Amino acid sequence: MHHVLSNPLVRAATLLVAGAMALTACERADDELLAHHGVDVDNRLLYVGALSDESGPAAQLGRPYALGTRLLVHQINSGQSDLLPEGWRVRLVERDHGYDPQRAQAQFDQTKDRVLFFISVFGTPQILPLLDQLEAEDIVAFPTSLSSAMAANPHTPPLGASYNIEAMRGMDWLVEERYAGRDDLRAGIIYQDDDYGQDSLEGWRAAGEYHNVDVSAGVNLSDALADARATMTRLRDEGVEAVLLATLPSATLQLVRAAAEVDYEPVWLANTPAWTDGFIDPSVGGPELFERFYMVQSMPYWTEDTPFTREFTAALEEYTDGRMVPSNYTLGAYVRAAVAFEAFGRALESGDVTRRGYLAALQSIDEYDVNGALHEPMDLTTLPYRSATMTRVLRPLPEMHQREQVADYARPAALENLR
């Protein structure tokens, strides 16, 4: 199993192993290494695609996400990572789709023949229309999406618990801890009119039925934003005490501000894409606005005190020359990229770095935790893929980027009843 970061002593030892691997790969490269799209065997270059949002409505998430991928590519190219054999380098073929599905489609068509795989396709609305093409081209695209639909497709390996699982775990926490002993809880949801929103809505309703909670107060995001103050007034007057937000940060901020303007103070729960740490900045929202705000997530956060996050933070600090722009999305992209390059390293060892060989190597990954970053190690050996099922509830603290864990990792009680 390859590791992403290591201290100098471990690095020295792993370089010996990497050197041996490079010799084997070099021998295969000269004689029998199978390669096609995106692999320059003679120069030991791997080309990978990245379709990002650095200018659209999700850019608050997309920009730091792109940084995480670039960080790991930098480490590989500078010899600071042993994910690939010595001498192999990576070239990113990046495009910014601005969260526009049609633009993402055009960029995919323009770049697909140049790359072995896409290390990220940012956004659920952007990757879902590509599923048929991914199968036809036999090309893997790592989704920057927690849609449950990803696990069913061999070319979109998931990382982390899906949106519906996040929603169910949030309901468990409300019923079992926040409002324990209550039998009259009413919980609402505001959701995007896309797969992300529908996935969250499905999990919310399944958990509501399991716990006998009234979840009839569901509002489509476009309707909610048409008059946000009126929406919040209605939810307040209907006695909705908790609201799940299956939204992007721009909408999250509008809704929470509108609620404060009409003296509505529900418990807010958020799917992973609904939050950005910039909300804590007083010039944006400030901690007072988010005192009753909670996130349901399965991934680590970068200020968590673990060996992985400490090493990741040090690497990011070096890469940005001390101008580190901290974000959990940077950390998430880094972890996802590590999985992608782990699969390529395995494909090299097998002697087949065609798209078919890459997929086979990817599907050999089992019990892989990215150097301790994942609470649930990845298992991609079966299809549908086994995505993570355990999430926890976190509360953002007034200190920037800090978290309080209010509920530990657990599987949703209603998971067996879903579908």
In-domain check, residue 288? yes
Cα–Cα distance, 334 to 314 (Å, whole number): 13
Instruction: Indicate whether 264 belongs to any domain.
Output: yes
Question: Same structural domain for residues 149 and 122?
Answer: yes
> Which pLDDT score, from 0 to 100, does residue 419 have?
57
Residue 3 inside a domain? The answer is: no
* Distance (Å, whole) CA 368 – CA 125: 28
343 lies in some domain: yes
Q: Does residue 164 surpass a pLDDT of 80?
A: yes
Are 79 and 143 contained in the same domain?
A: yes
Q: Are 298 and 323 in contact (CB under 8 A)?
A: no
Per residue in 140-155, pLDDT (tens digit) is: 999 999 999 999 999 9
Looking at the fold, whether 37 and 136 belong to one and the same domain comes out as yes
Confidence of residue 326 (pLDDT cuts 50, 70, 90): confident
Q: Beta-strand (E) ranges in 146-255?
A: 187-191, 218-220, 242-246
Rounded to whole angstroms, how far apart are CA atoms 119 and 336? 8
CATH of the domain at 260: 3.40.50.2300
Q: What percent of the chain has pLDDT over 70?
A: 92
Half-sphere exposure of 342 toward its Cβ, with a 13 Å CA cutoff? 23
Structure confidence at residue 4 (pLDDT) = 54
Residue 399 lies in a domain: yes
If one counts the domains in the chain, the total is: 2
Question: Can you read off the two tokens belonging to residue 278?
Answer: 């910039």
Q: Is residue 2 part of a domain?
A: no
pLDDT band for position 324 (50/70/90)?
A: confident
- Do 235 and 315 have their domain in common? no
Please name which of 278, 301, 298 lies closest in space to residue 290, comparing C-alpha atoms: 278
Residues 97 and 235 in one domain: no
Residues 6+ apart with CB under 8 A from 174: 185, 187, 213, 242, 267, 269
Share of the chain above pLDDT 90, in %: 84
Residue 409, class by beta-carbon neighbours within 10 Å (0-12 exposed, 13-18 middle, 19+ buried)?
Answer: middle
- Higher per-residue confidence, 305 vs 234: 234
On whether residue 1 sits in a domain, the answer given is: no
Gyration radius (Cα) of the chain, Å: 22
Tell me whether residue 215 is in a domain: yes
Q: Is 21's pLDDT higher than 80?
A: no
Tell me, yes or no, whether 56 and 139 share the same domain: yes
pLDDT of residue 149: 93
> Does one domain contain both 384 and 348?
yes
Regarding whether 322 and 274 lie in a shared domain, the answer is no
Which whole number is the average pLDDT over 145-173? 95
397 shares a domain with 332: no
Alpha-carbon distances of 244 from 57, 136, 248, rounded to whole Å: 20, 37, 12
Do the bridges between strand 187-191 and strand 117-122 make them parallel or antiparallel, or are there none, so unpaired? unpaired
Contact 106, 64 (CB under 8 A): no
Whether residues 265 and 404 share a domain: the answer is yes
Assess whether 49 and 88 both reside in one domain: yes
Domain of 87 in residue numbering reads as 8-161+302-388
Q: What is the mean pLDDT of residues 225-247?
A: 98
Same domain, 351 and 224: no
Q: What is the DSSP letter of 267?
A: E
The CA–CA distances, whole Å, from 20 to 14, 87, 339, 400 equal 10, 12, 22, 44
